[in-house]
Amino acid sequence: MKDTAPQTIYLKDYTPFGFVVESVHLTFDLAPNATRVHSRIAFAPNPEASDRRFFLHGEDLKLIGASIDGTPVTPDVTDKGLTCTVPDGPFLWECEVEIDPQGNTALEGLYMSNGMYCTQCEAEGFRKITYYPDRPDVMSVFTVEIRGPQPVLLSNGNPRELGDGHAVWHDPWPKPAYLFALVAGELLVQSDRFTTCSGKEVELNLYVRPGDEGKCDFGMEALKKSMKWDEEVYGREYDLDVFNIVAVDDFNAGAMENKGLNIFNSAAVLASPETATDANFERIEAIIAHEYFHNWTGNRITCRDWFQLCLKEGLTVYRDSQFTSDLRSAPVKRISDVIDFRARQFPEDQGPLAHPVRPESFQEINNFYTATVYEKGAEVIGMLKRLVGDRAYAEALDLYFARHDGQACTIEDWLRVFEDVTGRDLAQFKRWYSQAGTPRLAVRDDWNDGTYTLHFTQTLAPSAATADPQPQVIPISVGLLGPDGDEVLATRTLEMTEATQSFAFEGLDARPTPSILRAFSAPVVLERDSDTAERAFLLAHDTDPFNRWEAGRALARDTMMSMATTGAPAGSAYLDGMLAVLRDDDLDPAYRALMLAQPSQSELATALAEAGSTPDPDAIWQAGETLALALAQHAQDVLPRILAECRVDGPYRPDPDQTSKRALGARALALVTRLDGGAQAAAQYAAADNMTLQLSSLGCLLTAGKGDEQVAAFYEQWQDDRLVIDKWFGMQIAGAAPARAAAIAADLTGHPDFNWKNPNRFRATLGALAMNHAGFHAADGSGYRLLADWLIRLDPVNPMTTARMCSAFQTWRRYDSARQSLIGAELDRIAATPGLSPDTTEMMSRIRGAK
Ligand code: TRP
Ligand code: ZN
């Protein structure tokens, strides 16, 4: 725990470090409570820098001794690092520190998870391992010696010596300290090989704890697919003799791209048909790809400073989404991403935590690993590609790799390669990186003598982060449909640069119906006075799969909003449209499943708040229930056929074909459950031979208020599998009726298996509560209180996970005054906790608003 007052760091204050690091030698003598770390670092003056103050970061370290060129020195040590007088020329710094991995519950630096040593250094964890200039623009070649009794001793790069109780690793690629990694433990390995495009043999290893060896196959296949894809699509070859992946149980994020030694949350890599769902398999494939792709976008080319985080994250998310689109269904991937984006990024961008894709200041960088930096960062790259075209995008990427390999770069470097390749001036486009908030794009149209015109107006609300917003470059992909549903204008991308701009289309025979913002071509909120008839028309005819889905989504949103606010019955345009979709066998089942999914309760709350009304969580929940029943009744004749068609025979495979059928089957079963009270769900649960079917049928039973018996049996069956037990905790809360959700969550926090120090278990429980919209927002405040209690308890143990989970409260200002004062009281209580971490302190001050 850090205990000094938070400090704000500004992008504009960047200066290079006064020294270059020519080489780093680290020696670890492992011991749970007293690991010794010896460092030998060759420093030389940095000719690019003027400030020669020698400051090394260091936190929670016990300094044993230090020397310069062999002469002992006594540095000035604070709880943030040390300073020392150093020679004018090059010198050798040696230092020994002692650290306590066992006592490290924050899971940052070197820590222990189930008896195994592992590290997490991004963003600023290396300073908890030894004294070092812990900033990404300081890159060096690392050699690491590990001494310990563990049979497996790993670090970055290639192995140099592997002996009994001793290993030496050497990483020839200069890297920043945040990519350092070390693992030691009694691990089992699954190995494979990959031959790169130039014929180099790479050894692939996936290390897991005993008991998990049956869950490695899928991750290994995903790794090989990723390596091949990056060669074929981006021309990027792997650059070491080995690629290691280690699964650990206690991890604050999904995974980490350490050079040659990726460390994964076990939930993000381990899978078997019996224990993982189709969604888990897809997520694992994407995360393996993401971390692997970082080898070029993040590691070979890294970030100059943490303000540039989107340089590696936005690009790598964009690349992993391309990979998933290529391997699976592109429209399904796009729609799923946009659903997720609206659920996570929009509330952030439109609330008190709004910040630009490239922030200009921060207190705790860990609080900026956000949907804005990652997912909006990826959307910005998608827009850039749309604007310059696929060809220029490929050329710009080639130039980026050629020009910046081995460097620590900025967004300016990134945009410059596009400017150099295309001759375009991207100054205005750059506002996507500097302005916070979601632009609103209002559109009207008119029809005049064969000319159809679209009139657009963009507005961006001023915010604390962006006081004086300026117009952005918005790529608007548009198609036009004729009266009988034919496409009269194929997709074209309009480039909007002004606050208000019109685009005319000539030579049309009749007034067309516009399909605007196809494929979600820009991360904006589209505002169009559209009526139910137009939406139903687009749902039936749009040739763009994304916008066809969007039309159905809009019908669902409209009807649920009026149901929630006026008690109107379910809209018939929605019900008829969904029935037609359900019946349309030409549509991919996964696509139909996405069509049938209701907008989430929080998405509706956002939509209601945008429309100027105060969302009532209970009324929204009730609208969802009523609508689901109405749809089930409306579709009852076709549901049995859908269920039958979605049955998968033969052995389970998490491939697109089977996954797609199970996704639609699960939707159909949920509807059937509304009619039969759970009879078929119970039968499916009893017959299920894979986790996808087991969990989807159990979810149906829980929403029907049944399933007690199955919940108990599920526990009996899976009590020894921690990843499945995470699901067991989560589903009971996610599936709970709102009035009971907080009580069920509270009960589960008393369960002997509620290991609250494990981030997966904590999130499975308290995160599930935050996601049960009406349950979390229960009018008596019990949901708020329970989450606040646990955040206060977790904060001293694990500030990073605590601070990130505070975002559950970010939308608090949109609710009624009674709920606002209940939440406000909990926020006050958290903020007033003595010794609160800087991480959580920053989140509280941002969420509550500057005081
Ligand atoms: N760089 C990692 C990724 O995106 C993210 C990450 C892993 C992380 N562990 C972390 C971020 C800890 C902050 C803190 O793949
Ligand atoms: Zn990443």
Å from CA of 298 to ligand 2 middle: 8
Q: Tell which phi-psi region holds residue 510, choosing left (phi > 0), alpha (psi between -120 and 50) or beta.
A: beta
In sequence order, which ranges of 759-837 are alpha helices (DSSP H)?
A: 759-762, 768-771, 773-776, 782-794, 799-805, 817-831
Among candidate residues 799, 800, 733, the one with its CA nearest the CA of residue 770: 733
On whether the CB atoms of residues 670 and 703 are closer than 8 A, the answer is yes
Please name which ligand lies nearest the alpha carbon of 368: 1
- Please enumerate in sequence order all residues whose Cβ is within 8 A of that of 243, keeping only pairs 6 or more positions apart, or say none: 194, 202, 203, 204, 205, 223, 227, 260, 262, 292
The full set of domain ranges for the chain reads: 19-293, 306-527, 548-848
Contact 132, 177 (CB under 8 A): yes
| Ligand 1 neighbourhood includes 124 CB (under 6 angstroms) | no
pLDDT, residue 629, reads 98
Helices (H), 635-776: 639-645, 656-676, 679-687, 691-703, 708-718, 722-734, 738-749, 759-762, 768-771, 773-776
Residues, CB-to-ion distance under 5 Å, ligand 2: 313, 316
Tell me what percent of the residues of the chain surpass a pLDDT of 90.
99
**What tokens appear for 61 in the block?**
């370290």
Backbone angles phi, psi at 355, to 5 degrees: -150, 155
Give the count of beta carbons closer than 10 Å to the beta carbon of residue 90.
13
Question: Which pLDDT score is estimated for 386?
Answer: 98
pLDDT at 2: 44
Tokens describing residue 577: 């449209």
Residue 425, classified by CB atoms within 10 Å of its CB into exposed (0-12), middle (13-18) or buried (19+), is exposed
Residue nearest to atom 3 of ligand 1 (CA): 256
What dihedral angle (degrees, nearest 10) is formed by the CA atoms of 435, 813, 353, 266?
-130
Q: Judge if the beta carbon of residue 122 lies within 6 A of ligand 1.
A: yes
Q: What is the pLDDT of residues 151-177, one digit of tens each?
A: 999 999 999 999 999 999 999 999 999
Q: Which of 132, 131, 161 is closest to 144 using CA atoms?
A: 161
The pLDDT of residue 4 = 55
Residue 262 has pLDDT above 90, yes or no: yes
Is domain 19-293 classified as CATH 2.60.40.1730? yes
Cβ neighbours of residue 786 under 8 Å, at least 6 residues apart?
742, 745, 746, 749, 766, 769
What's the gap in Å between 93 CA and the centre of ligand 1?
A: 30
The whole-angstrom separation of Cα 57 and Cα 124 is 9
355 CB contacts (<8 Å, ≥6 apart)? 368, 370, 372, 436, 465
CA proximity to 69, closest of 53, 85, 55: 85
Tell me how far apart the terminal alpha carbons of the chain are, to the nearest angstrom: 25
Per-residue burial over 220-238, b = 16 or more CB atoms within 10 Å of its CB, e = otherwise: bebbbbbbebbbeebebeb
Ligand 1: nearest atom to the Cα of 800: 14
Helix (H) or strand (E) holding 650: none
Atom in ligand 1 nearest the alpha carbon of residue 255: 7
Q: Measured at the alpha carbon of residue 598, what is the angle toward residues 594 and 600, in degrees to the nearest 5?
A: 110
Question: Of 287, 289, 235, 239, which Cα lies nearest the Cα of 400?
Answer: 235
Q: How confident is the model at residue 795 (pLDDT cuts 50, 70, 90)?
A: very high
pLDDT above 60 (res 851): no
Give the Cβ contact number of residue 89 at 10 Å: 8
Q: Is the CB of residue 290 below 6 angstroms from any atom belonging to ligand 1?
A: yes
Q: Please, which residues have CB within 8 angstroms of residue 818's CB and are 6 or more apart in sequence?
A: 779
- Least Cα distance to 429 among 394, 392, 379, 463 occurs for 379
Angle at the Cα of 325 from the Cα atoms of 476 and 241, rounded to 5 degrees: 125
Q: Is 263 in the pocket of ligand 1 (CB under 6 A)?
A: no
Of 122, 264, 306, 362, best ligand 1 pocket probe by most atoms within 8 Å of the beta carbon? 122
Residue type, 599: P
306-527 shares the fold of 19-293: yes
Q: Is the CB of 108 under 6 A from ligand 1?
A: no
How many beta carbons lie within 10 A of that of residue 348, not counting itself?
Answer: 22
Which of 121, 180, 256, 284 maximizes ligand 1 atoms within 8 Å of its Cβ, making it the mutation to test the pocket?
256
Give the tokens for residue 632. 């089930």
Give the per-residue pLDDT at 6: 76
Q: Which residue has the tokens 């630009």?
A: 356
Per-position DSSP letters for 122-169, written without gaps between them: TTTTGGGTS-B--STT--EEEEEEEE-S-SEEEESSEEEEEETTEEEE
Residue range 269-275: average pLDDT? 98
Predicted confidence (pLDDT) per residue in 407-443, tens digit: 999 999 999 999 999 999 999 999 999 999 999 999 9
Ligand 2 centroid–CA 294 distance in Å is: 7
Query: What is d(CA 99, CA 101) in angstroms, rounded to the nearest whole number?
Result: 6
If you take atom 10 of ligand 1, which residue's CA is the nearest one?
A: 253
- Angle (CA) 457-461-465 rounded to 5° is 135
Q: Which CATH superfamily is domain 306-527 in?
A: Aminopeptidase N, middle-beta domain (2.60.40.1840)
In angstroms, the Cα distances linking 217 to 242, 267, 272, 648, 652 are: 18, 14, 8, 22, 14
- In short, whether 289's Cβ falls inside 6 Å of ligand 1 is no
Tell whether the model's pLDDT for residue 280 goes beyond 80.
Answer: yes
> Does ligand 1 come within 6 angstroms of the Cβ of 313?
yes
**Around 165, how many Cα atoms within 13 Å sit in the side-chain half-sphere?**
5
Averaged over 254-271, what is the pLDDT?
99
CA of 312, nearest ligand number: 2
Q: Are 284 and 219 in contact (CB under 8 A)?
A: yes
312 lines ligand 1 (CB under 6 A): no
Q: What is the pTM of this model?
A: 0.98
How long is the chain? 851
pLDDT above 70 as % of the chain: 99
Res 59 pLDDT > 80: yes
> Which atom, in ligand 1's list, is nearest to the CA of 291?
15
CATH of 548-848, one of 1.25.40.10, 1.25.50.10, 3.40.50.1260, 2.60.120.10: 1.25.50.10
Which of the residues 94, 108, 291, 842 is marked catalytic? 291
Q: Which two tokens stand for residue 275?
A: 């224990």
The token duo for 511 is 């007034």
Give dist(CA 116, CA 101) in Å, integer.
10
Nearest CA to ligand 1 atom 1: 256
In the block, tokens 């589960």 appear at: 748
Q: Can you tell me which residue has the tokens 């970055």?
A: 156
Q: Which atom of ligand 1 is nearest to the CA of 254?
A: 7
Helix axis angle, 309-327 to 278-293, nearest 10°: 130
Residues 6+ apart with CB under 8 A from 39: 24, 25, 26, 27, 93, 94, 95, 96, 97, 130, 131, 132
35: three-class secondary structure by DSSP: strand
Centre of ligand 1 from the C-alpha of residue 252, in Å:
8
Measure 216 CA to ligand 2 centroid, in angstroms. Answer: 21
Closest ligand (CA of 256)? 1
Return d(Cα 825, Cα 549) in angstroms, integer.
41
252 lines ligand 1 (CB under 6 A): yes
Can you tell me the mean pLDDT for 77-102? Answer: 98
Say how many C-beta atoms besides its own lie within 10 A of residue 652's C-beta.
Answer: 17
Q: Which residues contact 33 (CB under 8 A, 6 or more apart)?
A: 100, 101, 102, 103
Residue 379 falls in the annotated catalytic set: no
Q: Quick one: which of 93, 79, 205, 202 has its CA closest to 140?
A: 93
Going by C-alpha positions, the residue among 734, 831, 819 that lies closest to residue 784 is 819
Is the CB–ligand 1 distance for residue 366 below 6 Å?
yes
Which two structure tokens, joined as six digits, stand for 678?
């759970």
Cα of 127 to ligand 2 centre, how many Å?
21
The count of other CB atoms within 10 Å of the CB of residue 718 is: 18
The single-letter code of the amino acid at 312 is K
The helix/strand/coil state of 744 is helix
Whether the CB-CB separation of 120 and 178 falls below 8 Å is answered with no
Ligand 1 neighbourhood includes 107 CB (under 6 angstroms): no
Q: What is the pLDDT of residue 850?
A: 60
Most ligand 1 atoms within 8 A of CB, residue of 120, 126, 245, 246 to mutate: 120
Q: If you compute the radius of gyration of the chain from its CA atoms, what whole number of angstroms results?
A: 27
Residue 554 bridge partners (DSSP): none
What average pLDDT does the segment 753-777 reach?
Answer: 98
Do 116 and 108 touch, CB atoms closer than 8 A? no
Contact status, residue 797 vs residue 641, Cβ threshold 8 Å: no
- The distance from CA 647 to its chain's CA centroid, rounded to whole angstroms, is 32
How far, in Å, from the CA of 290 to the mean position of ligand 2? Answer: 6
The average pLDDT across 526-555 equals: 97
Q: What are the Cα distances from residue 647, in Å, to 583, 589, 657, 663, 846? A: 16, 12, 12, 11, 49
Task: Report the mean per-residue pLDDT for the chain.
Answer: 97
Give the pairing of strands 140-147 and 19-29. parallel
- Ligand number nearest to the C-alpha of 121: 1
Distance CA(120)–CA(263), nearest Å, equals 8
Residue nearest to atom 2 of ligand 1 (CA): 256
The 3-state secondary structure of 548-575, one letter per residue: HHHHHHHHHHHHHHHHHHHCCCCCHHHH
For 605-660, the pLDDT digits (tens) are 999 999 999 999 999 999 999 999 999 999 999 999 999 999 999 999 999 999 99
Contacts with 635 (C-beta within 8 Å, 6 or more apart), sequence order: 578, 579, 582, 671
| Cα angle: 507, vertex 510, 512; to 5 degrees | 95
Q: Whose CA is nearest to atom 15 of ligand 1?
A: 256
Query: What pLDDT, in 10s, does the model give residues 370-417?
Result: 999 999 999 999 999 999 999 999 999 999 999 999 999 999 999 999
Question: What does the pLDDT average to over 441-453?
Answer: 97
The answer, yes or no, to whether any atom of ligand 1 lies below 6 A from the CB of 302, is: no
- How many angstroms does the Cα of residue 770 sit away from the middle of ligand 2? 25
